[in-house]
């Protein structure tokens, strides 16, 4: 369950962090909130259906229903983002403009809100299956404490770096802006987090030290013989302690914890417990915790390259531009949506297949260590068979992140016959890691050498030709749009004269288009070629644009027009209006206000 929840929360974070905050909601607030509550009510009745009396009769079916509903919760979150514009409202939270992580945190809270509905409805079934009574709030809290460690590392890092932007010391900000400053600070904070996080998790999960006794003495003696150094042996009360499992966390002795659930301690004999501990020691001996961190960091690098290549590829196909036209959407909006969807699919593929490949084979390496430490397969096979039986006869149950227990047993039994199998498997794993390292290094090198304007020149030249052709061939009612799009494109390419000409033609066809008025005004104010500038006309155009559309970016253009024409007080006034309309970009507007106020003085 924990591994599944990891993917679910990564997807939720990705949905929020990769989607821009809209300037205005697609639906009126009352309509949007009405749809939100209707959808929440539908989700509630869906949960009731999944946990109806005749459906849930065993622990496996309970968790299977929870997994399906978690996926439905993600779908609900996606609807909230892409259709109900929840980010627009979250951006109105205090400090959200300065700390974007608060918007993503709000999204995670929405996801946990849906999951709280699941847990509240499922509570009676859980109490029946696990023979434990809870209040509703305590049960929801227990589930939250199980899931929070998955998202907390991301939250700590994001809050830390967003918070750095609020530090009011110029010297510190200069350090961050240096070529190595932010990277060095990130590395330092990340190392501290990795080292100390296991201590925090064990407290959040309410783990307690294993009491002195024969079992503890057995484990201590075995760890001493194996040379394992650790901080503490902990009892892990996962799902009322009835889950038969173990784990190990921590890359250094001071913050390394060996975790065993009560069900495992109470139901396995001494030799089997030693085999389980040997398996966990295998993870330490083979540096699996460090490799997991490498796989997570590598994903970020590979995903960035994938995103660039995908966008470059899609921009070279006429179908993309035809789709933008049919959907009546700006090209960049369609591109962002398509690339976000593609990256989401890549994320699921990466964790479901690549990350899972290493997880399965790391587990087999840990089994091999237990096999070697105990001199054969007997103890570890016995432990695995008992775990399968105690967990509800799950011997043949497949898992995306583990080989089934039957597969693990068969492999270990084969190792008794062919002692070369462990070495061959280890070589296979290290070859896979080496190939993965080559992919990561290649991705980093490609990103380093990739031109910054890769997504501009080649595909945009192709696009410019299409826009010019459409502006000539389209019906009169559509020509204005194509000239406007051509103006946007030529401005983006730095072809200022061509952009001005395109906007002029768009306005000749329809003079009441605020975006064309605004963009032309901006060019007449800021063109690199000063001969193209015309501040007086820009002010007239910007005023008309603001009359037609009260938007933050349009008011910002009007403010600059006032400022350039010698009216700084009016410029400050318009920027303050922009802050109220578009708080998500407060920081930019406040910088402009400061600039204009200094001119007044």
Q: What is the DSSP string of 545-560?
A: HHHH---HHHHHHHHH
Q: Greater confidence, 265 or 65?
A: 265
The whole-number pLDDT of residue 175 equals 63
Per DSSP, the three-state class of 566 is: coil
Which range among 5-9, 47-51, 65-69, 257-261 shows the weakest confidence by mean pLDDT? 5-9
| Residue in 22, 158, 14 with CA at minimum distance from that of residue 90 | 22
Query: Is pLDDT of 277 > 70?
Result: yes
Residue 515 is classified by DSSP as H
- CB-neighbour burial class of residue 300 (10 A; exposed 0-12, middle 13-18, buried 19+): exposed
Looking at mean pLDDT, say which of 64-73, 373-382, 562-571 comes out highest: 373-382
And the tokens for 398? 């497949």
Q: What percent of the chain clears pLDDT 90, i.e. is strictly above it?
A: 36
Q: In DSSP terms, which residues pair with 235 in a beta bridge?
A: 208, 260
At residue 337, does pLDDT exceed 90? no
pLDDT per residue as tens digits for the range 34-70: 999 999 999 999 999 888 866 677 777 787 888 889 9
Across the chain, mean pLDDT equals 84
pLDDT category at 487 given cuts 50, 70, 90 is confident
Average of per-residue pLDDT across 574-592:
86
Of 455 and 64, the structure prediction assigns the larger pLDDT to 64
Question: Is residue 523's pLDDT more than 80?
Answer: yes
The yes-or-no verdict on residue 21 having pLDDT over 90 is no
Cα 120 to Cα 229: distance, rounded to the nearest angstrom: 41
Residue with tokens 């406007």: 484
More confidently predicted of 20 and 546: 546
CB neighbourhood size of 101 (10 A): 21
pLDDT score at 287: 94
Question: How far, CA to CA in Å, does 250 sit from each of 182, 193, 296?
Answer: 26, 11, 16
Higher pLDDT, 44 or 20: 44
In this predicted model, which residue has the larger pLDDT, 285 or 88? 285
Candidates 82, 80, 84; CA nearest to 32 is: 84
Stretch 277-305: mean pLDDT: 91
Q: Please name the residue that has the structure tokens 């996926």.
A: 71
Q: pTM of whole model > 0.75?
A: no
In terms of residues, how long is the chain?
601
pLDDT band for 525, please (50, 70, 90 cuts).
very high
Lowest mean pLDDT among 7-16, 64-73, 316-325: 316-325
10 Å CB burial of residue 72 (0-12, 13-18, 19+) is middle
The H-assigned helical ranges of 178-256 are: 181-204, 214-226
- Region 178-194 average pLDDT: 69
CA 450 centroid distance within chain: 24
Q: What is the largest CA-CA distance in the chain?
A: 90
Phi, psi values for residue 233, rounded to 5°: -100, 120
Report the pLDDT value the prediction gives residue 89, as an integer from 0 to 100. 87
User: Which among 118, 113, 157, 145 is positioned nearest to 12, based on CA atoms?
Assistant: 113
Mean pLDDT of the 278-285 span: 95
As given in the structure block, the two tokens for residue 98 are 């300065």
Cα 277 to Cα 376: distance, rounded to the nearest angstrom: 15
231-246, pLDDT tens digit by residue?
A: 999 999 887 777 889 9
Q: What is the pLDDT of residue 561?
A: 92
Q: What DSSP letter does each residue of 14-62 carry, written as one string?
A: HHHHTSPPPSS-SS-HHHHHHHHHHHHHHHHHHHHHHT-TTT--SHHHH
């Amino acid at each position: 369950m924990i591994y599944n929840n990891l993917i679910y929360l990564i997807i939720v974070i990705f949905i929020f962090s990769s989607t821009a905050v809209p300037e205005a909601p697609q639906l009126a607030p009352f309509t949007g909130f009405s749809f939100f509550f209707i959808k929440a009510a539908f989700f509630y009745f869906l949960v009731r259906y999944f946990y109806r009396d005749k459906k849930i009769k065993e622990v496996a079916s309970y968790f299977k229903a929870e997994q399906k509903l978690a996926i439905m919760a993600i779908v609900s979150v996606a609807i909230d983002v892409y259709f109900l514009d929840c980010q627009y409202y979250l951006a109105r939270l205090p400090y959200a403009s300065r700390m974007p992580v608060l918007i993503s945190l709000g999204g995670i809270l929405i996801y946990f809100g849906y999951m709280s509905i699941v847990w509240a409805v499922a509570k009676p079934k859980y109490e029946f299956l696990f023979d434990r009574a809870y209040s509703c709030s305590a049960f929801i809290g227990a589930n939250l404490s199980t899931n929070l460690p998955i998202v907390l590392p991301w939250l700590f890092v994001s809050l830390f770096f967003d918070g750095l932007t609020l530090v009011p010391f110029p010297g510190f900000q200069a350090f961050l802006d240096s070529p190595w400053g932010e990277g060095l600070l990130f590395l330092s904070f990340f190392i501290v987090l990795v080292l100390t996080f296991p201590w925090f998790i064990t407290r959040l999960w309410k783990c307690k030290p294993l009491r002195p006794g024969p079992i503890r003495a057995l484990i201590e003696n075995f760890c001493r013989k194996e040379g394992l150094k650790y901080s503490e042996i902990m009892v892990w009360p996962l799902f009322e302690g009835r889950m038969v499992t173990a784990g190990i966390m921590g890359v250094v002795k001071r913050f390394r914890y060996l975790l065993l659930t009560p069900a495992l301690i109470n139901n396995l004999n001494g030799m089997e417990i030693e085999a389980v501990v040997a398996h966990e020691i295998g993870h330490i001996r083979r540096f699996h915790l460090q490799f997991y961190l490498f796989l997570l960091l590598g994903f970020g690098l590979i995903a960035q390259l994938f995103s660039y290549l995908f966008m470059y590829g899609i921009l070279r196909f006429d179908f993309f531009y035809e789709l933008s036209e049919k959907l009546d959407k700006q090209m960049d909006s369609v591109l962002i949506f398509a690339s976000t969807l593609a990256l989401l699919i890549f994320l699921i593929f990466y964790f479901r297949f690549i990350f899972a490949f290493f997880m399965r084979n790391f587990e087999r390496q840990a089994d091999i260590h237990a096999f070697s430490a105990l001199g054969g397969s007997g103890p570890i096979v016995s432990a695995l068979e008992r775990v399968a039986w105690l967990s509800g006869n799950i011997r043949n149950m497949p898992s995306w992140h583990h080989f089934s227990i039957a597969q693990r047993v068969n492999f270990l039994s084969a190792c008794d016959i062919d002692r070369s199998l462990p070495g061959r498997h280890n070589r296979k794993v290290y070859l896979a890691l080496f190939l993965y390292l080559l992919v990561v290094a290649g991705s980093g090198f490609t990103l380093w050498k990739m031109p910054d304007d890769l997504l501009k020149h080649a595909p945009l030249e192709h696009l410019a030709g299409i826009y010019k052709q459409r502006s000539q061939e389209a019906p009169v009612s559509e020509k204005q749009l194509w000239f406007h799009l051509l103006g946007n494109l030529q401005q983006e390419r730095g072809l200022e004269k061509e952009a001005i000409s395109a906007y002029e033609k768009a306005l000749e066809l329809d003079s009441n288009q605020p975006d064309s008025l605004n963009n032309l005004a901006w060019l007449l104010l800021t063109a690199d070629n000063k001969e193209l500038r015309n501040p007086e006309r820009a002010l007239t155009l910007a005023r008309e644009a603001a009359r037609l559309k009260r938007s933050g970016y349009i008011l910002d253009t009007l403010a600059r027009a006032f400022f350039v024409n010698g009216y700084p007080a009016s410029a400050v006034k318009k920027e303050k209006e922009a802050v109220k309309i578009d708080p998500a970009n407060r920081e930019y507007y406040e910088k402009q206000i400061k600039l204009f106020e200094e001119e007044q003085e």
